[in-house]
Amino acid sequence: MTALPLTTLPAGAVRPTLRTHREGPVLTVELNTPEQGNTVTDALLDDLLAVLQDQDPAVRVLVLTGRGDDFCLGGDRGESARHLAHDPTGSAIRMSGAKARRVCEALTSNPAVTIARVHGKAIGAGFALALACDLRVGSEDATFRLPELALGLPTAWGGLLPRLINEIGAARVREIVLTGRAITAAEAQSLSILQKVVPAHELDAAVAAWARPIVRRPQAALRVTKTLLNSLSAASRLADVSALDAELMAAVLTESHHALGTG
């Protein structure tokens, strides 16, 4: 795997939508718009891509978390509406969807082990960001939900569906997507959406307990093992059509926009 460019990112660095903190080989990336529930915007996707593309190859563990009460409340519906008002053809929606896919793939294929540290709500796109990580630990109050269908949207963001089906099975995914119900932390662990659940005050300790042995692993062996795991997982997703996510989202949103405009 090609090493990513060296970054000069200082500890505590702040981007418009993110805060980052580096402790040796561990890089923490914190979604940093708590007043909006850390909703996913184009600006946040741009910032995440910039951090992931400029990542120091010496980073062995990347922790993704959110500031405030919730991990991430999903996509910014207001921004999507503004995109459609400006361009009813949906080209901006397609561009945003393509960015989402690149971000999730960058988390999954990252040469470092990625850990999602989840608290509060992880909804829609927030669920997808967490699921794109190798390891996922949640607080006891963490919940997951996919409300897209109730909002008139397809569940098509960042390759979420094939990842989720691969992790927990098609029958369970069908029920979760069609009902849009919330999944508690305990159920999420039983489904392998989370691999560990702890009290909120123990989240950092749980992340550290995973990170400690990982950072001691020989870097080449760690990188190759991650590549093997990803390759074997991808082999079971031969029908992965998530490359169409952006097109599907744009098609549904533009059709709804036109229907509202002519109704």
Ordered per-residue pLDDT tens for the chain, 263 residues? 233 333 344 545 668 899 999 999 999 999 999 999 999 999 999 999 999 999 999 999 999 999 999 999 999 888 877 877 777 777 888 888 899 999 999 999 999 999 999 999 999 999 999 999 999 999 999 999 999 999 988 898 999 999 999 999 999 999 999 999 999 999 999 999 999 999 999 999 999 999 999 999 999 999 899 999 988 887 555 455 566 666 666 666 566 655 655 44
3-state SS assignment for residue 36: helix
Identity of the residue numbered 254: T
Domains belonging to the chain, first-starting first, are 18-203+213-258 (3.90.226.10)
Residue 90: predicted pLDDT: 73
List, in order, residues 6 or more apart from 69 with CB less than 8 Å away: 34, 37, 119, 120
Residue 237: predicted pLDDT: 53
The secondary element (H helix, E strand) that includes residue 26 is strand 26-31
Residue 257: predicted pLDDT: 54
For residue 19, report the phi and psi dihedrals to the nearest 5 degrees: -120, 140
The secondary element (H helix, E strand) that includes residue 196 is strand 196-198
Total residues belonging to the chain:
263
Q: What are the helix (H) ranges across 41-115?
A: 42-53, 77-86, 91-108
For residue 104, report the phi and psi dihedrals to the nearest 5 degrees: -65, -40
Identify the bridge partners of residue 139 per DSSP, sorted by sequence position.
Answer: 198
Distance CA 254, CA 222 (A): 44
